[in-house]
Amino acid sequence: MSVIEGKHPQTSQADRGRQRATMLEIQRRLIAHLEAGRTTDFAPAPYQVAARVFTDPARLDAERRELFLKLPMLAAFTSDMPNPGDVVVFEAAGPSILLARGRDGQVRAFLNRCRHRAAKLTKGCSTARVLTCPFHGWSYDLEGRLVGLPGEAAFADLDRATLGLTSVPVAEWCGLIFVKAHPGDEEIDVEGYLGPLAAELRQLDIAHTTPVRKHRIDLKANWKFAQDTFFEGYHFATVHPQTIAQTAISNVMVHDQFGPHQRVMMASQGWLDYVGHPEQEWRTPPYEGIHLIFPNTIFYSGHADRFAGSDADRQIFGCWRSFPGATPGESFTLMATYRPKDADEPEDIAFYEQVSDFIMKVVETEDYSLCAEAQANLESGPPDAPIVFGRNECANQAIHQRIAEAVGDDS
Ligand code: FES
Ligand SMILES: [Fe+2]
């Protein structure tokens, strides 16, 4: 048994039952909307957001400070670094951080910064027993201790024990690894942070996944504008007529709030056949949900066959993390998809690659191309000119309200 399998037992029968029950409840609500003539969940009222929320450098500074540097950030999946010696660099939230899985199986996180003259120790993903600085060759073990110091006599007055790497808070939970992007010894209480969303994510078998595709998209639009596109299905018919709208119904969505975290799901085209039929005749797919782990991580558990028009029940996980770029009008999204580890026949792998490529292409060429044009409009107009989210864009409303609260923007 590997370190990971020992730490994360496979999803139990009870979890599978819970997943199915949760999905059936989501399906009931969506089919009720279809029966009512394609209604959708509604917020109490429309909600307006000033253009400056997307364009003001002071607002972006507050978001970096209050969100990206203070809150737990999803840095990696367990399956990105499953083995002792695996090292992953995460620098999207601000400081460059290296995550290292030690020989004891524990993940530790440090500033990716040599204690000599601050060079970056490593870039990207690697496997290592020691981390050797490319500048003058100081080396550190996976626990962050300084273990090699060329020309040691020059530093004889310093206590080597004080020259280890600087820790940042890290926690591994149910296949997900969170960090806080600042130095310190405080613990991350993942379940406390996720609140009731923890139970929804715990039942999924995230620890027993393996990466399919990873991709970075750079975008000339604010990170929140990009993120908003994932949380409403109002645009499906107009933006995705040949892709997503072939399998999902436009503007029929259910929305749940879990503290600052959110979940939405849209109705499938195939479910129109279930209207007027008892639920015993419905086919309920594997659990599907688009979750926001506040503030910036979209975690999608989905039914991959929905995109391929096949009848199997293959589950796919998607992770899309939006981060600020250098200015309010720039951002980047780290996209990744994962498949169950045991779906490893060549045809399974080819299937997951094809579905992953499809999802990434849709996001990049259909959703994100609109974002950049809208951002240019926002930047060319008065900062207080509002955009408006309808009652049907209820998740977007909630996300903007929670972000405004977190950064103390009460305008
Ligand atoms: S900066 Fe790392 S060894 Fe000099
Ligand atoms: Fe979209």
Whether residues 297 and 370 share a domain: the answer is yes
Residue 146 near ligand 1, beta carbon < 6 Å: no
Alpha carbon distance 171, 108 (integer Å): 8
Phi first, then psi: give them for residue 261, nearest 5 degrees. Answer: -85, 155
pLDDT at 395: 98
| Averaged pLDDT, 35-42 | 98
| Residue-number span of the structural domain to which 156 is assigned | 73-187
Residue 133 near ligand 1, beta carbon < 6 Å: yes
The residue whose CB lies within 8 Å of the most ligand 1 atoms, and thus the one to mutate among 135, 146, 155, is 135
Q: What is the DSSP string of 204-222?
A: S-GGGEEEEEEEEEEESS-
Whether residues 391 and 302 share a domain: the answer is yes
Q: Is pLDDT above 80 for 12?
A: no
Distance 117 CA to ligand 1 centre (A): 5
Distance 76 CA to ligand 2 centre (A): 24
More confident residue, 20 or 117: 117
Distance 74 CA to ligand 2 centre (A): 23
Q: What percent of the chain is predicted at pLDDT more than 90? A: 88
Q: What is the DSSP string of 4-19?
A: HHHHSPPPPHHHHHHH
The burial class, CB within 10 Å (0-12 / 13-18 / 19+), for 288 is: buried
Enter the pTM of the model.
Answer: 0.95
Residue 285 corresponds to which tokens in the numbers above?
């797919």
Distance 239 CA to ligand 2 centre (A): 7
Whether residues 96 and 167 share a domain: the answer is yes
Question: Ligand 1, atom 1: nearest CA belongs to which residue?
Answer: 117
In a domain, 235, yes or no: yes
Residue 117 near ligand 1, beta carbon < 6 Å: yes
| Averaged pLDDT, 55-75 | 98
Q: Is pLDDT above 90 for 68?
A: yes
Contact in structure between 255 and 394 (CB atoms under 8 Å): yes
Whether residues 87 and 106 share a domain: the answer is yes
Q: What is the DSSP string of 337-372?
A: EEEETT--SHHHHHHHHHHHHHHHHHIIIIIHHHHH
Q: Among 155, 187, 219, which residue terminates a domain?
A: 187
Residue 136 near ligand 1, beta carbon < 6 Å: yes
Residue 42 near ligand 1, beta carbon < 6 Å: no
Distance 113 CA to ligand 1 centre (A): 9
| Averaged pLDDT, 132-138 | 98
Nearest ligand (C-alpha, residue 320): 2
Alpha carbon distance 193, 191 (integer Å): 5
Whether residues 231 and 344 share a domain: the answer is yes
| Averaged pLDDT, 179-184 | 96
Per-residue pLDDT tens for 231-260?
999 999 999 999 999 999 999 999 999 999
pLDDT at 124: 84
Distance 152 CA to ligand 1 centre (A): 13
Q: What is the DSSP string of 275-314?
A: TTS-GGGPPP-S--EEEEETTTEEEEEEETHHHHT--S--
In a domain, 192, yes or no: no
Q: Residue 411's pLDDT band (boundaries 50, 70, 90)?
A: low
Nearest ligand (C-alpha, residue 119): 1
pLDDT at 4: 53
Residue 3 corresponds to which tokens in the numbers above?
């370190």
| Averaged pLDDT, 277-294 | 95
Residue 138 near ligand 1, beta carbon < 6 Å: yes
| Averaged pLDDT, 181-185 | 93
Whether residues 241 and 140 share a domain: the answer is no
Whether residues 279 and 328 share a domain: the answer is yes
Ligand 1 atom index nearest CA of 121: 2
Contact in structure between 392 and 38 (CB atoms under 8 Å): no
Per-residue pLDDT tens for 394-410?
999 999 999 999 999 87
In a domain, 193, yes or no: no
Distance 31 CA to ligand 2 centre (A): 21
| Averaged pLDDT, 124-139 | 94
In a domain, 48, yes or no: yes
In a domain, 223, yes or no: yes
Per-residue pLDDT tens for 349-398?
999 999 999 999 999 999 998 999 999 999 999 999 999 999 999 999 99
Whether residues 35 and 132 share a domain: the answer is no
The residue whose CB lies within 8 Å of the most ligand 1 atoms, and thus the one to mutate among 110, 115, 116, 163, is 116
Q: How many CB atoms lie within 10 A of CB 202?
A: 17
**In CATH, what number is assigned to the domain containing residue 49?**
3.90.380.10
Alpha carbon distance 157, 138 (integer Å): 16
Ligand 1 atom index nearest CA of 150: 3
Whether residues 100 and 150 share a domain: the answer is yes
Whether residues 254 and 303 share a domain: the answer is yes
Structural domains in the chain (count): 2
Nearest ligand (C-alpha, residue 120): 1
Alpha carbon distance 393, 46 (integer Å): 8
Question: Ligand 1, atom 4: nearest CA belongs to which residue?
Answer: 136
SS3 249: strand
Per-residue pLDDT tens for 78-90?
999 999 999 999 9
Output DSSP code: residue 124.
Answer: S
Distance 110 CA to ligand 1 centre (A): 16
Per-residue pLDDT tens for 300-329?
999 888 887 777 889 999 999 999 999 999
Nearest ligand (C-alpha, residue 229): 2
**In CATH, what number is assigned to the domain containing residue 158?**
2.102.10.10
Whether residues 395 and 303 share a domain: the answer is yes
pLDDT at 1: 42
Contact in structure between 177 and 105 (CB atoms under 8 Å): no
Across 15-29, 63-77, 199-213, 302-316, the highest mean pLDDT is recorded for 63-77
In a domain, 198, yes or no: no
In a domain, 351, yes or no: yes
In a domain, 195, yes or no: no
- When the pLDDT of each residue in the chain is averaged and rounded to a whole number, the result is 94
Whether residues 270 and 209 share a domain: the answer is yes
Q: Is pLDDT above 60 for 5?
A: no
